[in-house]
A and B are shown apart, each in its own frame.
Chain A
Amino acid sequence: MNTITTVVRYVLLAAAACFVLGLHLMNHPARARRGNQLSAAGMIAAVAGVLVLIAGSGTITTTGWIVAAAAVAVGSTAGLYAARTVQMTAMPQLVSVFNAVGGGAAALLAVSDLTGAGAAGVPARVGVPAALDIVIGAVTFSGSLVAAGKLQGLVPGRPLVFRGARAVNAALGGVFVLAGGWLLARPASVAALVVLTGAALVFGVTMVLPIGGADMPVVISLLNAFTGTAVAMAGFVLDEHSLIVAGALVGASGGILTKLMADAMNRSIPAIILGGFGTGDDVAPAGPGGGAPVRAVTVDDVAMQLAYADRVIVVPGYGLAAAQAQHELAALAETLQEHGVRVDYAIHPVAGRMPGHMNVLLAEAKVPYPQLKEMDQINPDFPQADVALVVGANDVTNPAARRPGNPVSGMPILDVDRAKSVVVIKRSMGHGYAGIDNELYTDPKTGMLFADAKRGLTDLLVAVRAFVG
C-alpha cells in the first residue's frame, strides 16, 4: 500500500464517521441541518479521495475519464433539478426515485465487475455478494419506480392483483437461485447475468403492483432498506468498507422505519408485501350517509367554539395534504394563537405518504416544530383540549381500534374522542382505508363540518378573524 492509498483509506474512514455523526445530529430539529451538511462534507471528501486514488493508479483510460465526467454532470444536474423543484407533497415519489437510482447503480456495479472478471472467474466471496447485489439492486430499481408511479398517479394506486401472481413470484424466486448458481459457476456468463437481472426487475414490479397506495409509507421504507443492503453488497464485491458501512447504516434506518410504519398501520410486513388489502386514493361518495345520526355544524359555530377555547389540538391527516390546505390550516392556527389560544398539532406516524411526511408539509407552511407533537407525547393531553380539530384524518382517530373484532382493532390511534369537544372537517361520511364507520363521527360531542379541507379552512379563517377582530 503506497502513501496515497493509505491516505485515501483514512479519508474514506473519516467519511464513514461523518455519516454516523451526521445521522446522530439528526436527533433534534435544531441540529439536523448541520448533521446533513456534515454527512455531505464526508461524501465530498470520499469522492475526492477516490478520484485521487484513480488518477494515481493510472489504470483509467482517457475515454474512462470522459465517460465518468459526463455521467457525473448528467446525474448531478438531474438530481439537483429534481431536488430544487419538487413539491413537498411529492417528496415520497422523489425519495422512491432516488432509491431506484441508488439500487440501480449498485446492481450495475456488480454486473460491471462480473463482466470484467474474464474467463478466470471470481471467487465465491465476490460472486455471492455480487449475485445478491444484482438481485436486491434490480428489485429495488423496478420496485421503486413502480412505487413512484403509483404515488404520482401514473400507475393506478389501487392494488393490482392478477391471477397466479404468487406462482409467478415463486417461479422468479426459483430463477434467482438457478441463475445465481449458474453465475457462480461461470461468472463471465453474460446470459446468466441477463437472466438474473431480468428476473429481478420483473420481481420488483410484481412485488409492488399489488400493494395499495395507503401502504406506501411501509413500501418506501422497505425499498430504502433494500437499497442500503444492495450498496453494502456492492461494498463486499469491491472490498470497499466505506460502502459497507454506509449501506449498513441505510439498511438499519430503512429497517427501523419499516417496522415503525407497519406497527402504526397495525399491519404485519408480510401481509403488506402479499398485498391486496390497501386501496388507492379513492374519492368518497358525496353527501352524508351511513347509519347512526351525526351532528352537522356550520362554519360560524366552529369559529365561535375555536375562539372561546383555551386549548386546541389540530389532527391533520393525508386528506389535508391531498387538498393542499396546510397553509390555510397554519394561518388559522396562527390567528388563534394571536388571540391567546394554545394550539398543538397531533401527528400520527402514518399521516402522509412516507414516514414523517406530515411534519415536513407543516414545516413548509411555517408551523414551528415545537408545536408538532408525536402520538405518544400528545395523547395524554387530549382530555385538556377544549376542541380537537380533525382535518383529513380518519382511521387513525377511530375509537373502535381499542376494541377487538374489527379491521382497525389494535391500531395505535390518537385519543381524539377524549377531548372536550371534537370538530371534523370532511367532505362526506366516506370511509377511510379500513372501510369501516368511524365511531368518532357519531359521538354526541363531535360536530361534522361538511366541506372540502381547503374551502372549509379558508371559510373558518375568515369567520374566526371576523369574530376575534
Chain B
Amino acid sequence: MIIAVTVFVLGLLVGFEVISKVPATLHTPLMSGANAIHGIVLVGALLIAAQAHDLLGYLLSFAAVAFASMNVVGGYVVTDRMLQMFRSKS
C-alpha cells in the first residue's frame, strides 16, 4: 500500500514539473494527449475482463473495455491530428 501511495505522490510531482513547462499554445493538445494517457485504464479493464465469468461480469467488462478503447484510440489520434497542424512556416 505504502509503495502504491509513494508512486502516486511521485507521479503527481513529476506531472506538475513536466506539465508546467508546456506553453499555452499547446494546452489543447496537452489536454487531449493527457486524456489519451488516462486511457491506460484499458489495461485495468482488460485485467477485469480476464476475471469475468458470469453475465454481469461480461457486461461490465464489455462496457469498461469499450469505453477505455474509445478513450485511448480517439485520444491519441485526435492529438496527433492537432499537432501535425502546428507548423513553423506557412
Docked-complex contact B30 and A23, CB < 8 angstroms: yes
> What's the Cα separation between A257 and B28 when bound, in Å?
10
Docked-complex contact B50 and A105, CB < 8 angstroms: no
Docked-complex contact A79 and B73, CB < 8 angstroms: yes
CB neighbours (8 Å) of A47 from chain B are 42-43, 46, 72
> What's the Cα separation between A370 and B21 when bound, in Å?
17
Query: Which of A52-60, A279-287, A294-302 sits within the interface?
Result: A52-60
> What's the Cα separation between A88 and B28 when bound, in Å?
10
Interface membership of chain B positions 66-83, coded 1 if the CB is closer than 8 angstroms to chain A and 0 otherwise: 111111111111111111
A40 within 8 A of B: yes
Q: A244 is contacted by which of B7, B20, B86 (Cβ under 8 Å)?
A: B7
> What's the Cα separation between A348 and B38 when bound, in Å?
28
CB neighbours (8 Å) of B42 from chain A are 47, 105
Docked-complex contact B35 and A24, CB < 8 angstroms: no
> What's the Cα separation between A45 and B75 when bound, in Å?
17
Docked-complex contact B35 and A245, CB < 8 angstroms: no
Q: B81 is contacted by which of A72, A84, A334 (Cβ under 8 Å)?
A: A84
Given contacts A75-B67, A98-B32, A356-B27, contact A109 B48 (CB under 8 A): yes
Q: B43 is contacted by which of A57, A59, A243, A359 (Cβ under 8 Å)?
A: A243
Interface membership of chain B positions 1-40, coded 1 if the CB is closer than 8 angstroms to chain A and 0 otherwise: 1011001111111111011111111111111111111111
Docked-complex contact B23 and A76, CB < 8 angstroms: no
> What's the Cα separation between A198 and B30 when bound, in Å?
32
CB neighbours (8 Å) of B82 from chain A are 88, 91, 360, 363
Give chain A's interface secondary structure class: helix
Docked-complex contact A98 and B75, CB < 8 angstroms: yes
Docked-complex contact A59 and B50, CB < 8 angstroms: yes
Docked-complex contact B63 and A83, CB < 8 angstroms: no
Given contacts A23-B34, A102-B35, contact A68 B65 (CB under 8 A): yes
Give chain B's interface secondary structure class: helix
> What's the Cα separation between A117 and B60 when bound, in Å?
14
Q: A228 is contacted by which of B38, B65, B73 (Cβ under 8 Å)?
A: B38
A394 within 8 A of B: no
A33 within 8 A of B: yes
CB neighbours (8 Å) of B75 from chain A are 79, 83, 98
Docked-complex contact B44 and A109, CB < 8 angstroms: yes
In order of increasing CB-CB distance, the 7 nearest A-B pairs are A252-B15, A79-B74, A356-B27, A248-B11, A75-B69, A71-B65, A355-B27
Q: Can you spell out 30 A-B residue pairs with CB atoms less than 8 angstroms apart?
A: A20-B14, A20-B18, A29-B26, A29-B88, A39-B76, A67-B65, A79-B71, A91-B28, A94-B78, A95-B32, A102-B41, A106-B41, A112-B60, A116-B57, A224-B31, A234-B41, A244-B7, A246-B38, A248-B8, A248-B14, A248-B15, A252-B16, A254-B34, A347-B25, A355-B31, A356-B25, A356-B31, A359-B26, A363-B82, A363-B87
Residues on A lying within 8 angstroms of B by beta carbon are 12, 15, 19-20, 22-24, 26-30, 32-33, 35-37, 39-40, 43, 46-47, 50-51, 54, 57, 59-61, 63-64, 67-68, 70-72, 74-76, 78-80, 82-84, 86, 88, 91, 94-95, 98-99, 101-102, 104-106, 108-109, 111-113, 115-116, 125, 220-221, 224, 227-228, 231-232, 234-257, 260, 334, 347, 349, 352, 354-357, 359-360, 363-364, 366-370, 372, 374-375
